[in-house]
């Protein structure tokens, strides 16, 4: 029985540490497919479809670069209102992970908008990013937790 408890504790620790690990850089975009006049109708239809919904991971530095790029991005904080009030990234929109499925369409009506998601440590942001992708959002980027954010935060 002690071995089982020890094994369960080690497994829980490993999962917890994995959730807090630094995020891998985002993959580079694949080049667009060129459709030639000889292309089949099926290939033309496939190329015309909307981009595949997927979430990608960014580092804090990559996320900050996207925020500073001048491009329109949505910074999405998925923590609780109390955590948000204690400090959040400037310009962040609050949508707690527990409300993603019920409130995302109202707060985030454009499913092709670039959304940068964060939480406290990276666990809830990953859950929220996966939920958004499941709902059809196509440009979702998880950059982990505010705990590893080396830039400015604002408080209410």
Say how far apart CA 142 and CA 55 lie, in whole Å.
7
How far is CA 20 from its chain centroid? 15
For residue 118, list its beta bridge partners. Answer: 77
Distance CA 120, CA 73 (A): 20
Q: Are strands 114-119 and 74-77 parallel, antiparallel or unpaired?
A: parallel
Active-site residue flag, 119: yes
The catalytically annotated residue of 104, 115, 119, 129 is: 119
Residue 151 to residue 100: CA distance in whole angstroms: 26
Measured distance CA(18)–CA(13) in Å, rounded: 9
- The catalytic site residues sit at 119
């Amino acid at each position: 029985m002690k071995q089982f408890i020890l094994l369960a504790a080690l497994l829980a620790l490993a999962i917890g540490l994995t959730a807090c690990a630094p995020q891998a850089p985002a993959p580079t975009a694949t080049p667009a497919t060129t459709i030639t006049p000889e292309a089949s109708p099926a290939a033309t239809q496939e190329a015309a479809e909307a981009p595949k919904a997927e979430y990608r991971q960014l580092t804090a530095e990559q996320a900050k670069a996207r925020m500073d790029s001048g491009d329109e991005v949505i910074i999405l904080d998925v923590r609780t209102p109390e955590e948000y009030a204690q400090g959040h990234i400037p310009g962040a929109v609050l949508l707690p992970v527990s409300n993603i499925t019920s409130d995302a369409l109202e707060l985030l009506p454009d499913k092709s908008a670039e959304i940068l998601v964060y939480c406290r440590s990276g666990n809830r942001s990953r859950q929220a990013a996966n939920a958004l992708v499941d709902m059809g959002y196509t440009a979702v980027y998880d950059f982990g937790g505010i705990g590893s954010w080396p830039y400015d935060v604002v408080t209410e």
